[in-house]
A and B are shown apart, each in its own frame.
Chain A
């Protein structure tokens, strides 16, 4: 049933070969084809503008007040590309290899190789748009290095790479809006997809300002709706990032790939109280010069500056002498958790470790440190009130990115014909752990260079389908279902706020399906989530009306979907009894406490098939075949 549609031939030639063979759609026919794109982040904005340039009619939706505000805007560190401008031995193969290895051998070789191949064109495209990347004095593009790799291939624009790349894609999108190739709908939220004869043929959206439900037809529908890290309540994602679009697609037949694969980023500002609404990332680049430590003595309450050198435990340097503070994210996060669980944590909550720049300042001088990290230090001080030049930062891991998402084939099509998923909302390229600076690369690769080709394969067979009227009963039914659900929420007359349910869900997920997972906790969590779901529908209180702007109603719908997703994530985590990448099953570890993969039984991507309310979902497997790399246990010792 799962057909990954990987082209034949040697790995390095697959994409070139595919491109020369893929059926084309003539310009006259493109004008007759409508494509719906949900989302205007890096993936959605780049796809919508490229498709419109090619001549398709595009309708694009986002829930913010402008396409420029998608969550991609917040990415800090940079974007990878195999340009080898630094002449340090980088190549397409090496980027491919690092990504496969970093993902702990749980991604599809052919997709990752294609990603590495197109990476270079992304940089060219963005430069041509006027994206102000960092440059050397000689005028050429500058690079930095990122965790888990040994070459310098990350392009960046100060600490605001996501902003500059998104504004580039937004400018391309704006150009197409002005030309009439794209019709943009701001402040519209997709609530369901519409299927006719088994194919995706449109969407139901709600105009968030008026509460009006609208029906839109498309010959194909592209979801570019971002990650679902907010299932944990606290994460580094933007407040409104949510799973609704892909969850509704899942319930209409799109299988969900590797839902439990979550990235927990090691360097975030710790939680300070119950009121906390989100967590702030401190860029990974800080680990280039900062040293991570905790006191050697349990419960040591002295100020950090009063703790002498020989009473400090630089535990990453101790455990991983080869990579030290630069081990990959999952390894660094688990090590911090291990120290805090053992009682060595610092700060008021004891759920934090120090990230110290004392030695860097001594070695490089405050000016150099400030030139490298000044804006991050300032941000840290704004939030915590502490000055990192004089006292070490306190950091703790936080949910950051979801590698899981809708299962897609080589064409980026889901298991629903005509429904595509691109960017963070699909499961494709990062396996069980994503390397830094690779999400921006994937979003733009999918949107600028992959989907515009691969969608042609489907649409070339669809040129004779005339636009279907949105009076069709399938639209009618989907709209009614969306509306009924909102009515039920508004008329529930309950007593508990949506927020309180979201917070409870977050606790269950973080405690049982977070940095470490085990059979007892996961089994318990399934029951807890099922009761939470019941209580939600019994007791939630949603004020206001349906026919006006109602942020509480929007939130209620999203949280209801998060609760269902949470259960699926836990099932997936339970099913995969090996450890791999960010998924650490306590039952599967080495004597030294490192993650232990089980290649014999788990070299597959899971693809969950929804079976209806009250019935357990079915797990399918896409077996992963590796021809170009050899599977080894990752070691950073």
Chain B
């Protein structure tokens, strides 16, 4: 449980229209069992105690499932570990004396609101454009009325595992939201429940994605590499196929 001393370079920005910049902080005697966010808690408590404003960052579950936490650590969304959100990253993966750079997601459709917090409401609007099955409460048939093969249901689950954090957008040089959008489209396209609205769904969601200003996909695969849930880029291919056949049909 060796103690750890770090130099932190953190992006500070007061508001969406204010200019931002890096500030440097030294932090010492960290316990290596801490999580990365607990390390920032310690920094913030120090800042409050010395009369400064703490660093603002989004977080809630601290279990890697709500998708709130969102920071670029040493140039990588959610930091150095594969398949791991920021909140699940622990300090044992850093070395004494390291300098650690911490920035918000960088993407035009996700403007910085304050320090490390960005606006991700474009994702909500993409879902509102068709990421659902139109079934009113009370009108559903028995759960076992439509059998679904285990392989199909497992595949749908893999797509549904997306936590909507936005790391895919932050990782992409074009700030594309293809992986996020494709995951929802694929989940519903794979399942029988999603068939009726399949065409409108893909057209609506892709249109919304473009309107929000996300960039195009140029197949670099950076999104899959940085996705904390390791969602596969195969779903992007599936979405493209859905989109083209929808346009043929439509």
Contacts and interface: CB of A to CB of B under 8 A. Distances in A.
B138 A121 contact: yes
Given A130-B193, A275-B42, A382 B120 contact: no
B147 A140 contact: yes
Nearest to B142: A124
A276 B58 CA distance: 18
Interface residues of A, number: 80
Contact of A275 (B41, B65, B142): B41
Contacts of A385: 33, 90, 92
Interface string A156-194: 011010111001001110110110000010100000000
Contacts of A239: 59-62
Contacts of B132: 129, 171-172, 174-175
B194 interface: yes
A138 interface: yes
A480 B54 CA distance: 27
Given A128-B133, A278-B62, A83 B143 contact: yes
Contacts of B187: 130, 132
Contact of A280 (B63, B148, B150): B63
A54 to B, nearest CB: 8
A132 B135 contact: no
Contacts of A127: 140, 143, 146, 193
B140 A128 contact: yes
Contacts of B153: 132-135
- Chain B interface, DSSP helix/strand/loop, else mixed: loop
A541 B48 contact: yes
Contacts of A240: 60
B65 A273 contact: no
Contact of A68 (B42, B164, B194): B164
Contacts of B138: 121, 125, 448-449
Interface string B18-62: 000000000000010111011001100101110111101011111
A518 B121 CA distance: 49
B56 A549 contact: yes
Interface in A96-142: 121, 123-130, 132-141
Interface residues of B, number: 77
Interface string A367-394: 0000000000001001111000000000
Given A132-B191, A209-B113, A548-B15, A382 B84 contact: yes
Contacts of B164: 66, 68-69
Nearest to B193: A130
Contacts of A128: 133, 135, 139-141, 193
Contacts of B136: 50, 53
B245 interface: no
A74 interface: yes
27 contacts: A49-B137, A53-B136, A68-B67, A69-B68, A74-B65, A124-B142, A128-B133, A128-B139, A128-B141, A128-B193, A134-B153, A139-B150, A141-B144, A158-B157, A164-B160, A174-B131, A238-B61, A240-B60, A273-B34, A385-B90, A448-B138, A452-B137, A497-B48, A499-B45, A548-B15, A549-B113, A552-B48
3 cross-chain pairs, A with B, having the tightest CB-CB distances, nearest first: A139-B147, A128-B140, A171-B132
